Structure 1
Amino acid sequence: MLDARLRPLFAGPLDAVAARLDHPPLTPDRLTLLGLATGLASAAAAAAQWWWVSLALWLVSRAADGLDGPLARRRGVRDAGAGGFLDITCDFVVYGSTVVGVAVGASAEHGAPWWPFLLVLLAYYVNGTAFLAFSSIAERSGRTIDDGRSLSFLGGLAEGSETIAVHALWLALSSVAWQIAAVWAAVVAVSAAQRVVAGYRALR
C-alpha cells in the first residue's frame, strides 16, 4: 500500500548510497547475497532471543535489499533477469525464515503460541503465489506492469514497506509478537485476496 509513495522518497538517498558503494569488488548480486546472509542471521538471532541484535541485522538486510537495484542501474545492467530472480528468491527465504525465527524465540521466552506465525506463513504463500503467477502470465500475454522492478507487481494492502515495518515491530516488541503476527496474518490475507481478484480481472 505504501510502496508507491515511499519509493520516490527513498530513491534519491538509495542512489546516493549506491554511488558510494560503486566499487569493482561489490556487485549487485553480492549485495543481494549480503541481504540474504544478514536476514538469515537475523532469524537465528531472533530464535536465540537476541532481539535487538536481530532487529539490527534485519534492518541491514533490508538496506542491502534496497541497494542492489540502484547499484545495478549505475552499472548499466540492462538484463535484470538473473539479478531479479536472485533478489525475489532471497526475499522469500528471508521473510519466511524470519517468521520462523521469531516464532521460536517468542515461544521459548514468552510462551507464545505458534498458530499466528503459521497463519502468516500461509498468507505469505498465497500472496506470493498470486503475484508470481500474475507476473509470469502477464509477461507471456503482454500485460506487464512496469514500475521499474524485475517483476510485474500487483499492489495490495501489504507490500514490502509494510512487511519491513511489521517484522521490525515484532522484533522490538517480542512480548506481543504473536498478537502482532495474528493481526499481520489477517492483513496479508486481505492483500492476497486483493491480488487474486485484481490479477484475474487484469488477465481476462
Structure 2
Amino acid sequence: MLDAPARRALGPGLDAAAAGLDRLGVRPLAVTGLGWLVGLAACVAVATSHWSTALVLWLANRLLDGLDGPLARRRGATDLGGYLDLLADFSVYGGFVLAVGVAVPEARLACLVLLLTYYVSGTAFLTLAPLLEKRGARGDGRSVLFVGGLAEGTETVLAYAVLCLLPGHAETVLWVFAAMVALTALQRIALGVRSLGERSPGIQDRRPLRTTPETRPAEETP
C-alpha cells in the first residue's frame, strides 16, 4: 500500500548510491549476498533479545535490498539476480518472525499465525504472477511481476521496526500485522479468481491487466 510513495521518495537517493557502487565495480549479486547475511544477523540479534542491534541490522538489510535492484539495472539485470533477491527476502522475512518467537515466548502463537498468512499470501503471489504475465500483464521491469495489496514491503519494514522498538508489545504487533497479511492474501486470491476466470486474451488482442484490485505492481511481500 505504501510502496509506491516510498519508492518515489527514496528512488533518487538509491539510484545515486547505485551509480556510485557501479563506478566502484560492485556487482549486484554481492550486494544481495551481503544484504542476506546482514538480514540473518538481524534475526540472530532478535533471537538473543538485542533489539537495538536488530533494528540497525534490519534497516541495513532493507537498504541493501533497495540498492541491488538499481545497481542490477545499471549493470544488466539477470533472472538469477531476481531469483536470489526474492529468495533472500523471503528467508529473512520468515527468519525474523521465527526469531521473535524464540525471544518472546508469549508471542509464539501470533508468530505461527503470521507465518501461515505469509505462506498463503506468498503462494497466491507466486502462482498468480506468472499466470497474469501469460495473459499479458506487464510489471515494472523487475524479474517477477509483483502483485500488491494492503501489506507490502514498506509495511513489513515498519512492522519489524516496531517489533524492535517495542518488544514488550510484540504479540499485539504480530496479530495486527498477521491480519494485514491475511487481507493481502484475500486481495490476491480475489484478483486471481476474477482475472483467471476471464477469457485469456488472444495473441492479437492481448492487453495489459491490472495486477492489484486497486493499485499497480508493488514491492514484494511474503
TM over 0.5: yes
> For the aligned residues, what is the CA RMSD?
1.3
Partner of 1:92: 90
CA contact (8 A) 1:157 1:187 kept: yes
User: Where in structure 2 are the equivalents of 1:55-66 lying within 5 Å?
Assistant: 55-66=55-66
Asked if 1:19 corresponds to 2:13, the answer is no
- How far apart in 2 are the matches of 1:195 and 1:149? 19
Q: For the Cα contact (< 8 Å) 2:43–2:96, is it kept in 1?
A: yes
Q: Using the alignment, how far apart are the partners of 2:120 and 2:28 within structure 1?
A: 29
Q: Distance in 2 between the 1:173 and 1:68 partners?
A: 30
Give 1:114-129 correspondences, 5 Å limit: 114-129=108-123
**1:131 matches 2:125:** yes
Provide the rounded CA distance (Å) in 2 between the counterparts of 1:101 and 1:144.
37
* Residues 2-151 of structure 1 aligned to structure 2 (within 5 Å): 2-23=2-23, 26-75=26-75, 77-78=76-77, 80-107=78-105, 112-139=106-133, 141-151=134-144
In the alignment, does 2:162 pair up with 1:169?
Answer: yes
- Equivalent-residue separation in structure 2 for 1:13 and 1:132 (angstroms): 29
In the alignment, does 2:198 pair up with 1:200? no
Q: Are 2:160 and 1:153 aligned? A: no
Structure with the largest fraction of helix: 1
Residue type at the aligned position of 2:163: W
Instruction: Report how many aligned residue pairs link the two structures.
Output: 197
Give the C-alpha shift of residue 5 in structure 1: 2.1
Per the alignment, in what secondary structure is the counterpart of residue 5 of structure 2? helix
Alpha-carbon distance, 1:19 to partner: 1.5
Please state how far the C-alpha of 1:148 moved relative to its aligned partner.
Answer: 2.8
Amino acid at match of 1:84: G
TM-score normalised per structure 1: 0.92
1:65 Cα offset (Å)? 0.5
**How far off its partner does 1:146 sit?**
1.2
CA deviations on 1:40-77 (whole Å, 9 max, x unpaired) are 110001000000001100000111001001001121x1
Please report the TM-score for the alignment, with normalisation by the length of structure 2. Answer: 0.85
Match of 1:163, SS state, is helix
